[in-house]
């Protein structure tokens, strides 16, 4: 703009001033003589000539088409930019110069060629948008792109721009209301939303999600009075309060203590068996916990949504995400997209549920489509992927492969859901040409019309030509427990319960494998998973984020060992009355799902089940 001002001044000089300079002096001097003004000093005469010339130039320039307006306009821009350079940081100025609102947001049903790619949408939203275009059952939603992430801090410094961005989100919510025939913030027919992250490269469990957005005391109460929603309304509200509290730094353990105490009080083993009224008491106890820590749930629905979006964007900088980026060498500048979707009630009753499937058997060579994974009744997606529950197998094949598994499979209990998942998997892999997939799903009833796909990504657990196996035929004498194996076969190691143990054992026994023992595989354990060599958990399934991450990193894992009782504070665990403490020898076989006391000889063998 500075050079534009120079060019305009040059035009004015060359075409409106210079051509008239000499003639004006002659004409104005002649004019002074004709007026009979005598005895005027040369200084006064020059002053009159200058004044009359200036009046002439102004009249000529002002009558010229756009020149004066253009000069004033560009001059104002230049003044503004100079003021910005003095007040704003260079990155903010850069954003403003390249700002394009068309790169900020898109809906699942909307074609936006410029941003319909993994760079802008993140992997999760990119594939969800593709599935939506294939007419797959994906809950409707919209995406705030990674460009929004990069621009958000700068835009907040300009109230009018920030207000315009909020209006864009409001418009998208109104579009969702029309599609779903629900009303966001309504007491009678509320639209609830899930706010999830979407990074360019998948980082399972590293980022935060805030589910059941759009609830408060009044909406939860009203929804609970609708037929069939009594338990689900308060369970969903409880989950929102926990997500909100954890986003403010309250630990998961604080919420776990509350629900464990209520299980003891009401003599309940699983939360799904609480009554409607009991679940309401638990939800309000969660709210009391927030109050105790000085955390307030935003009660206004739209402001609650905006705050949830901010939370998810900020989770790009949380400890888990930083560890992921450092280990996998992901640039901080990439940022994350945010997905806002209709929430599906996978927790509405005992005929609803959620799960995750692989479209092939992990670590086996066959490329045939076989559904293999975990699911649970009356749950929401975070239960499975966070490794918080004892899961059930998806297929009967899993029950046959792992005889110690308990519970009927999805294939047996929900055959219509299972067959629809199998059909969708075959369409993706055989018809659409996708690699084998890892698919997260939820369902509201036994009918396939109530099945929804929440996420899909490429299966990337590497097949092994050979795996380590134990060679001592007497090893089974020392079998202490079983679980679901995922990983590279047999491993000898020593027991660790936390990061302190892992660091201490690494220094003391650098050549030995460290087997991390945890009650469940929550995302908060990511740092420890990077440091350990093996993983053993009491809860969770093969598709939980932490288990998948561990397997991707080449760890040997056994999850869902129901005989395992972990006492973290005492740094010990018991498996079928056999006690392990920090540093004790343990052996795990991910191929068979077996756990042994002690260490045993190992050799490599080729394993082919197909």
Helix (H) or strand (E) holding 190: none
**Cβ atoms of residues 351 and 445 within 8 Å:** yes
pLDDT of residue 609: 39
The CATH number of the domain covering residues in 466-606:
3.50.30.10
Q: What's the mean pLDDT in 180-188?
A: 96
The fold of 353-458 is: D-amino Acid Aminotransferase; Chain A, domain 1 (3.30.470)
**Model-level pTM greater than 0.85?**
no
Q: Give CA 34 to chain center in angstroms.
A: 85
Per-residue pLDDT at 427 exceeds 90: yes
Percentage of residues in the chain with pLDDT exceeding 90? 55
Q: What's the mean pLDDT in 411-417?
A: 95
pLDDT of residue 327: 76
pLDDT of residue 320: 83
CA neighbor of 560 nearest in space, from 540, 579, 544: 540
What span, in angstroms and rounded, lies between the C-alpha atoms of 14 and 11?
A: 5
Q: Which residue has the higher pLDDT, 306 or 39?
A: 306
| Band (546; pLDDT cuts 50, 70, 90) | low
Q: Where are the domains of the chain?
A: 2-87, 89-215+300-343, 217-296, 353-458, 466-606
Q: What's the mean pLDDT in 464-490?
A: 84
What span, in angstroms and rounded, lies between the C-alpha atoms of 493 and 497?
A: 13
| Band (486; pLDDT cuts 50, 70, 90) | confident
**Cβ atoms of residues 563 and 481 within 8 Å:** yes
| Band (521; pLDDT cuts 50, 70, 90) | confident
Q: What's the mean pLDDT in 416-430?
A: 96
**Cβ atoms of residues 383 and 389 within 8 Å:** yes
Q: pLDDT per residue over 119-145, tens digit each?
A: 999 999 999 999 999 999 999 999 999
The fold of 217-296 is: Acyl-CoA Binding Protein (1.20.80)
**Cβ atoms of residues 483 and 605 within 8 Å:** no
Count CB-CB contacts under 10 A for residue 289. 18
Task: Please say whether the dihedral angle defined by the alpha carbons of residues 436, 441, 445 and 448, taken in this order, is positive or negative.
Answer: negative
Q: pLDDT per residue over 322-331, tens digit each?
A: 888 887 778 8
**Cβ atoms of residues 582 and 495 within 8 Å:** yes
Q: Is 440 helix (H, G, I), strand (E, B) or coil?
A: strand
C-beta pairs of 312-316 under 8 Å, 24+ apart in sequence: 312/195, 312/196, 312/197, 312/207, 312/208, 312/209, 312/210, 312/336, 312/338, 313/149, 313/152, 313/338, 315/197, 315/207, 315/208, 315/247, 316/149, 316/197, 316/199, 316/207
Q: Which residue has the higher pLDDT, 64 or 298?
A: 298
Q: How distant, in Å, are the alpha carbons of 221, 231, 270 from that of 278?
A: 13, 9, 13
Identify the weakest region by mean pLDDT among 108-112, 202-206, 286-290, 433-437: 202-206
Strand-by-strand arrangement of the 572-575 sheet: 564-567, 572-575, 578-581
Count CB-CB contacts under 10 A for residue 111. 9
Across the chain, what does the average pLDDT equal?
87
pLDDT of residue 367: 80
Q: pLDDT per residue over 347-403, tens digit each?
A: 999 999 999 999 998 767 778 899 998 899 999 877 776 666 778 889 988 877 766
pLDDT of residue 610: 35
Domain 217-296 matches domain 353-458 at the CATH topology level: no
Q: Which residue has the higher pLDDT, 428 or 43?
A: 428
3.40.50.2300, 3.40.50.1000, 3.40.50.720, 3.30.1490.20: CATH of 89-215+300-343: 3.30.1490.20
Per-residue pLDDT at 608 exceeds 50: no
Q: pLDDT per residue over 199-218, tens digit each?
A: 988 787 778 899 999 999 99
């Amino acid at each position: 703009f500075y050079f534009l001002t120079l060019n305009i001044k040059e035009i004015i000089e060359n075409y409106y001033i210079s051509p008239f300079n000499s003639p004006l002096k002659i004409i104005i001097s002649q004019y002074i003589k004709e007026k009979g003004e005598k005895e005027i000093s040369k200084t006064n005469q020059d002053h009159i000539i200058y004044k009359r010339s200036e009046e002439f130039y102004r009249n000529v320039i002002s009558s010229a088409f756009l020149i004066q307006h253009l000069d004033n306009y560009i001059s104002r821009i230049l003044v503004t930019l100079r003021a910005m350079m003095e007040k704003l940081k260079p990155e903010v100025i850069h954003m403003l110069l390249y700002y394009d609102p068309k790169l900020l947001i898109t809906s699942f049903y909307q074609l936006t060629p410029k941003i319909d790619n993994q760079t802008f949408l993140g992997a999760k939203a990119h594939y969800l948008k593709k599935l939506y275009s294939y007419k797959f059952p994906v809950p409707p939603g919209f995406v705030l792109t990674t460009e929004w992430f990069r621009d958000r801090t700068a835009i907040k410094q300009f109230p009018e721009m920030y207000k315009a961005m909020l209006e864009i989100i409001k418009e998208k919510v109104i579009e969702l209301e029309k599609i779903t025939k629900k009303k966001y913030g309504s007491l009678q027919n509320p639209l609830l939303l899930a706010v999830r992250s979407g990074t360019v490269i998948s980082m399972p469990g590293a980022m935060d999600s805030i589910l059941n957005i759009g609830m408060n005391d009044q909406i939860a109460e009203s929804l609970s009075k609708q037929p069939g929603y009594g338990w689900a309304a308060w369970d969903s509200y409880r989950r929102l309060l926990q997500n909100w509290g954890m986003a403010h730094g309250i630990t998961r353990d604080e919420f776990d203590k509350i629900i464990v105490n209520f299980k003891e009080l009401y003599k309940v083993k699983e939360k799904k068996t609480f009554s409607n009224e009991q679940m309401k008491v638990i939800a309000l106890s969660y709210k009391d916990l927030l109050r105790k820590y000085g955390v307030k749930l935003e009660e206004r629905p739209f402001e609650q949504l905006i705050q949830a979006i901010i939370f998810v964007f900020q989770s790009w900088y949380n400890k888990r995400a930083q560890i992921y980026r450092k280990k996998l060498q992901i640039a901080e500048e990439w940022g994350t997209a945010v997905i806002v979707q209709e929430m599906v009630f996978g927790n509405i009753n005992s005929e609803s549920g959620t799960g995750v499937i692989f479209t092939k058997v992990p670590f086996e060579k066959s490329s045939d489509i076989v559904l293999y994974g975990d699911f649970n009744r009356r749950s929401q997606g975070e239960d499975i992927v966070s490794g918080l529950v004892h899961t059930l197998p998806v297929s009967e094949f899993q029950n046959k492969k792992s005889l110690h598994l308990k519970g009927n499979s999805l294939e047996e209990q929900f055959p219509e859901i299972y067959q629809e998942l199998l059909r969708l998997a075959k369409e993706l892999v055989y018809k659409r040409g996708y690699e084998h997939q890892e698919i997260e799903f939820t369902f509201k009833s036994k009918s396939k019309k109530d099945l929804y796909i929440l996420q899909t990504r490429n299966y990337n657990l590497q097949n092994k030509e050979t795996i380590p196996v134990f060679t001592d035929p007497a090893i089974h004498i020392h079998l202490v427990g079983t679980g679901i194996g995922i990983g590279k076969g047999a491993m000898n190691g020593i027991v660790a319960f936390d990061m302190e143990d892992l660091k201490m054992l690494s220094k003391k026994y650098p050549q030995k494998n460290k087997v991390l023992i945890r009650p469940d595989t929550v995302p908060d354990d990511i740092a420890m998973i990077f440091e350990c060599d093996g993983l053993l958990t009491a809860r969770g399934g093969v598709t939980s984020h932490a288990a998948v991450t561990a397997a991707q990193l080449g760890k040997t894992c056994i999850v869902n060992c129901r005989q395992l009782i972990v006492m973290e504070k005492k740094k010990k665990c018991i498996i079928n009355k056999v006690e392990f403490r920090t540093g004790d020898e343990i052996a795990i076989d991910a191929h068979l799902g077996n756990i042994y006391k002690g260490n045993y000889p190992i050799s490599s063998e080729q394993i082919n089940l197909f």
